[in-house]
Chains A and B, each alone.
Chain A
Amino acid sequence: MSESIIRCEGLNKWYGSIQALKDVSIDIKKGEAVGLVGDNGAGKSTFIKILSGVHKADSGNIYFDGNKVKINNARDSMKLGIETIYQDSALAPTLSIARNLFVGREPLTFKIGSLGLLDREKMARESLEAIKRVELDLRSGDEVVENLSGGERQGVVIARALYFRTKVLIMDEPTNHLSVKETEKVLRWIEKLKAEGTTCIFITHNLHHVYPVSDRLVVFARGEKIADVQKKDTSIEDLTKMIVHD
């Protein structure tokens, strides 16, 4: 578990005159679950947006699997095997689970150039299998996503990550707006992802959520990384103090 999967060196990011990231360096190991914590506006989302290709760092380097990479857009990030989930924007609400699962990576029966005929049988079959793996109580992949609860939606997104054997799954507030029961489910899924060897990076405001499932915690404040500790070397109280007092 000592091999690094994502290593960032000296990332800086400005939004106009606001510096959202100040010289941030992080080394994330394969299979690790890393919790990013910090107050509002600390730069957590900015950091993961750089990894997922939504924004570009103004300076600094990113290494993936030991190789220096440039992540210019979401495609680049996905090609590396990084998948990012934003609370409200991970799924298309009016589409079925099956269609959502395969957006951008549709199985095709034949193709001309990039235009291809959907393999709908495979989509139906595999989507059902994928949602079964996360123990979602849904009988078919035809259900429209807007009918699902927040927790079920997260389940679909995690099923997608599992299905495509995502190397790194980044989640921005995966337990936001979820009931206690649904939150527990999401945390169980994260355990499952870890067991499958997926590296997880997640942001949350609720230390009680991140703490049990993380191996490591990284604290951001005003764009800087102010702490980077193994869970065994810290406690919820210590972390809370850091976030509140800095």
Chain B
Amino acid sequence: MNIRKYFKYVASRPEFAALTIFIIIAITFYGINENFLNFRNLRVLFTISPEIALIAMGATILMVSGEFDLSVGSVFALSGVVMVVLTNEGVNAHLAFTISLLMCLAIGFINATITIRFGIPSFIATLGTMFMVRSIAIVIVKADFPTFPMEEMYWLRAIFANPIPGTIFRMSFIWFILITLLLIFYLHRSNYGNWSYSTGANQAAAQAMGVNTNNVKIRNFVLCSFLAGLAGIFMVLRTRAAFPSVGVGYELQAIAASVIGGASLFGGIGTVFGALVGAFLLKFLDNGLVMARLDVNWFRFAVGTLLIFAVISNTNLRRIANKMRE
């Protein structure tokens, strides 16, 4: 492969730029504090990063098809709350788990329906459901936080949350890898993926070629909501607590991770791998600041800087790659 071709390849794939920044960040924080990459902290990093990565991958797929979901942070909170509250009410834990995930699918479907049927921007539709879902999560738990049903959740924890002895990973990481592979198949290797891209890039063209763009969007809204709910359940099983206030701001972090990973706000551009790298980058940055004993409040500043930098560089890299005809 000649250099020119190689450069074009890299320039047209912004997830590589994100990966580079990710590696630089990891090395820098390691340089500041060796403990950043020790066994204990890696375990922390590989536990929290997949949760936001699941949300970010869903957000990216939805963005590729031209829509946004701002309700993911609220869904993240509600799924765990519903599962725990139902179990406390005497419902079988596995049934509660299933009901909770079905509810997430339903929320995704509602987001899609509001957006499509009434032809309003999904930004607004899901801003509405973001408030509504958060409100429901808070109302359900009432004033006091629900106790975590340790015994009933034994198997769910064993399947989804417990640490895998001798490794830095928890069970959730295996699920995360599995889901990532499925999402890569879905977005990059399947016809549904091709429909998602064409819907986001040019809805009229996709329709003219016989693609049912409404179905494409419904599917991706549902997928996005499902992933957010699953991430919420992973977190609750891991922390053994269901707080209705978790996940505030995750919707914007998910979008930030997507954009840093190369997704375009205008639809039709973005990759699952990019979202994954973007999400890991955010969590490594967050944790790295703590480990470096810097004021954590710089996290938002850093994210903001990265975001702006990413959008500018992605746009320019794309322009450069486009100019380089083979």
Residue of B nearest to A120 (CB): B189
B326 at the interface (CB under 8 A from A): yes
Given contacts A116-B190, A118-B190, contact A95 B210 (CB under 8 A): no
Considering only residues 202-250 of chain B, those with a C-beta below 8 Å from chain A are 202, 204-212
Q: Which of B28-36, B114-122, B142-150, B191-199 is found at the contact surface with chain A?
A: B191-199
Q: Which residues of A contact B268 (CB under 8 A)?
A: 92-95
A140–B9 alpha-carbon span in the complex (Å): 14
Nearest Cβ in chain A — how far from B291, in angstroms? 39
**In the complex, what distance in Å separates the CA atom of A7 from the CA atom of B74?**
55
Q: Point out the residue from B12, B197, B208 that lies within 8 Å of A95, measured CB to CB.
A: B197
For B, the interface residue count at a CB cutoff of 8 angstroms equals 30
A236 partner residues in chain B, CB cutoff 8 A: none
Q: Please state if A106 and B185 are interface contacts (CB–CB under 8 Å).
A: no
B250-280 vs A: 1/0 string, CB under 8 Å? Answer: 0000000000000010001100000000000
B136, CB-defined interface residue at 8 Å: no
Report whether A93 and B202 are in contact in the complex, using a CB–CB cutoff of 8 Å. yes
Given A115-B190, A116-B190, A140-B326, A105 and B202 contact (CB-CB distance below 8 Å): no
Contact B201 A92 (CB under 8 A): yes
Q: B325 interface residue, CB < 8 Å from A?
A: yes
With A93-B201, A95-B201, A143-B325 already in contact, the answer to whether A78 and B209 are too (CB < 8 A) is yes
Question: Which residue from A75, A103, A116 sits with its C-beta under 8 Å from B205?
Answer: A103
CA distance A57 to B208 in the complex (A): 18
Verify if A139 is at the interface (C-beta below 8 Å from B).
yes
**Hey, which chain A residues are within 8 Å of B207, CB to CB?**
74
Judge whether A86 and B191 touch: CB under 8 Å: no
Asked if B190 and A117 sit within 8 Å, CB to CB, the answer is yes
* Chain B min CB distance to A166 (Å): 12
Assess the A89–B269 pair: CB atoms within 8 A: no
B316 to chain A, nearest CB (A): 15
Distance in angstroms between the alpha carbons of A141 and B12 in the assembled complex: 15
Nearest-Cβ distance from residue A218 to partner chain B, whole angstroms: 23
Are A102 and B194 also in contact (CB < 8 A) when A91-B202, A139-B326, A140-B326 are? Answer: yes
**Smallest Cβ-Cβ distance to A101: which chain B residue:** B209
Which one of A90, A95, A139, A142 has the highest number of Cβ atoms from chain B below 10 Å of its Cβ? Answer: A95
Q: Are B198 and A95 in contact (CB under 8 A)?
A: yes
A118 to B326, CA, bound (A): 24
CB of A196 to closest CB in B, whole Å: 20
Q: Does B38 belong to the interface (CB within 8 Å)?
A: no
Contact of A92 among B190, B191, B202 (CB under 8 A): B202
* B322 in the interface (beta carbon within 8 A): yes
Given the known interface contacts A75-B210, A78-B210, A94-B264, the answer about A147 and B322 at a Cβ–Cβ threshold of 8 Å is yes
A-contact 0/1 string along B85-102, CB 8 Å cutoff: 000000000000000000
Interface residues of A in 92-136 (CB under 8 A from B): 92-95, 99-100, 102-106, 108, 111, 114-118, 120
Closest chain-B Cβ to A100's Cβ sits at a distance in Å of: 7
> Distance (Å) between the CB of A157 and the closest chain B CB?
10
Cα distance, A118 to B208, chains bound together (Å): 20
Residues of A within 8 A of B212 (CB): 75
B194 touches A89 (CB 8 A): no
CB of A175 closer than 8 Å to a CB of B: no
Asked whether, in the complex, the Cβ of A100 is within 8 Å of the Cβ of B198, the reply is yes
Q: How far is the CA of A105 from the CA of B198 in the complex (A)?
A: 12
Nearest-Cβ distance from residue A124 to partner chain B, whole angstroms: 13
Closest beta carbon of chain A to B325's beta carbon, Å: 7
Which B residues have a C-beta under 8 Å from some C-beta of A?
A: 12, 185-186, 189-195, 197-198, 201-202, 204-212, 264, 268-269, 322-323, 325-326
- With contacts A86-B204, A103-B209 known, what are 7 further pairs, Cβ within 8 A? A92-B268, A93-B201, A99-B194, A103-B211, A105-B210, A118-B191, A140-B326
29 A-B residue pairs with CB within 8 Å: A52-B208, A74-B209, A84-B208, A86-B204, A86-B208, A89-B205, A90-B205, A91-B205, A92-B198, A92-B201, A92-B205, A92-B268, A94-B197, A99-B197, A100-B198, A102-B194, A103-B194, A103-B206, A103-B209, A103-B211, A104-B198, A104-B211, A115-B190, A116-B191, A118-B191, A118-B194, A120-B189, A144-B12, A147-B323
7 smallest beta-carbon distances between A and B, as pairs: A92-B201, A104-B209, A94-B268, A89-B204, A106-B191, A104-B210, A75-B210
